[in-house]
Amino acid sequence: MKRPFWKKYKFTVFVLILIFSVLTLNHYKHSVTLTQPSYRELTDPFMDDRQKEIREAGCLFSLSLGKIERICQYDYSPDKLQGIFWKEKEFNKRLVLTFDDGPNMSLMDWENGQSSVTAAILDTLSSRGLTGVFFINGKNLESGSAGEEKDLRDLLNRMILEGNMIGNHSYHHYNLARGIFSDGIEDYQDIKAEFDTTQAALDRILGYHYPLILIRPPYAEPGRTDVLDHVLKDNGQYLISLQFDSYDYAYTEEGYWQPDRLLSHVKKLILPAQGGVLLMHDHEISVSLLKNILDDQDIRSCIEIVDMSEILFEKYQNQSNK
């Protein structure tokens, strides 16, 4: 009586399965390291309570939150504002992607169906193993129903789990250097409230505390004042300015700033430079512009796109260790 085929070759089958498993594991490890800086090891004791808190909220502790937590541990002098400033030039041909005014839950045609604008940006980044910083407005976290709130929560958790960081862009998107904030009365408290209210709105949606330690005021440098700087210093927060403005907000269907012209504008800015922070927005046109930037051969050949934490790590963690 002949032995069954599978018994006759069971050792060979076992070896083939083992080889396939090893190759799959290696591929998985590689795909993860594309989006996560290798120096971010989540082994610190202070992480234990945070991981428990987040698990109890029904979420996963992510390397993104680990990056934020570590930035919170850097030495911060109350006498000197810390962050990335618009006159900085030491980026060694590295580019950081940032997106203002989100999250944008408006639907757009995307791939084989529809997607929210912010989700389409996340798709574009994750498909290339890249991350960005999303500077959100607190007013965009207000939802009209339980279903909308769940969609927001899912989007924000996805943003975090895929390695992106979330920053604070104020609640209302007022120009903090003008209007009600320039009367000289209660300016400090009013500006602080814009950021504190956004923090509270995010924590309510997530169900756990995500420190919004990265700050970009509306209108970036023109929206910055001495009072705002004092607010950030007093609260140990980092001002994240920009070196390059994509002008994606200037796009109109019949206007001057068409997609090709936007890409040409961005290339003229970043190719001669030594790298820096690029400002984009959670706008529909920004999705196609982002794809064009990431797929452009001239940019890919001379600019490396990196995570914001890498730049802050070099600037402040090394300083903390001295």
CA 99-271-40 angle, 5° bins: 50
Is residue 308 domain-resident?
Answer: yes
The reply to whether 288 falls in a domain is yes
User: Which helix (H) or strand (E) segment is 91 a member of?
Assistant: none
pLDDT at position 317: 80
Residue 167 lies in a domain: yes
Q: What is the mean pLDDT of residues 216-230?
A: 94
Tokens of 317: 């963690």
- pLDDT classification of 10: cutoffs 50, 70, 90: low
More confident site: 243 or 20: 243
Whether the link from the prior residue into 103 is cis, omega within 30° of 0, is yes
In a domain, 99, yes or no: yes
Q: What is the largest CA-CA distance in the chain?
A: 97
Residue 54: the pLDDT is 64
Helix axes 63-73, 146-161, angle to 10 degrees: 70
Return d(Cα 320, Cα 318) in angstroms, integer. 5
Residue range(s) defining the domain that contains residue 210: 41-320
pLDDT at 70 > cutoff 80? yes
Mean pLDDT of 43-55: 57
> What pLDDT sits at residue 123?
98
Structure confidence at residue 15 (pLDDT):
52
Scored b (16 or more CB within 10 A) or e, 72-83 reads eebebeeeebbb
Which stretches does DSSP call E strand in 70-138? Answer: 82-84, 94-102, 107-110, 113-116, 133-136
**CB within 8 Å of 181: residues ≥ 6 apart:** 174, 175, 187, 190, 191, 225, 227
Q: How many domains does the chain contain in total? A: 1
In this prediction, residues 292-315 reach a mean pLDDT of: 96
CATH number of the domain that residue 58 is part of: 3.20.20.370
| Per-residue model confidence (pLDDT) at position 71 | 94
| pLDDT band (50, 70, 90) for residue 125 | very high
Confidence at 45, pLDDT banded by 50, 70, 90:
very low
The answer as to whether 14 is a domain residue is no
Q: What is the mean pLDDT of the chain?
A: 85
Contacts 24+ apart (CB under 8 A), 107-112: 108/284, 108/287, 110/287
Q: What is the mean pLDDT of residues 227-246?
A: 97
* Within a domain: 149: yes
Contact indicator for 212, 195 with CB cutoff of 8 Å: yes
pLDDT at 110 over 60: yes
Reported as a pLDDT band with limits 50, 70 and 90, residue 308 is: very high
pLDDT of residue 50: 63
Q: Is residue 245 part of a domain?
A: yes
Q: Which residue has the tokens 């594309």?
A: 34
Least confident of 47-61, 108-122, 240-254: 47-61
CA pair distance 48, 22, nearest whole angstrom: 30
Residues near 289 by beta carbon (within 8 Å), at least 6 away in sequence:
246, 248, 259, 262, 263, 266, 280
* 38-47, 243-252, 274-283: least confidently modelled range: 38-47
Residue 89 domain flag: yes
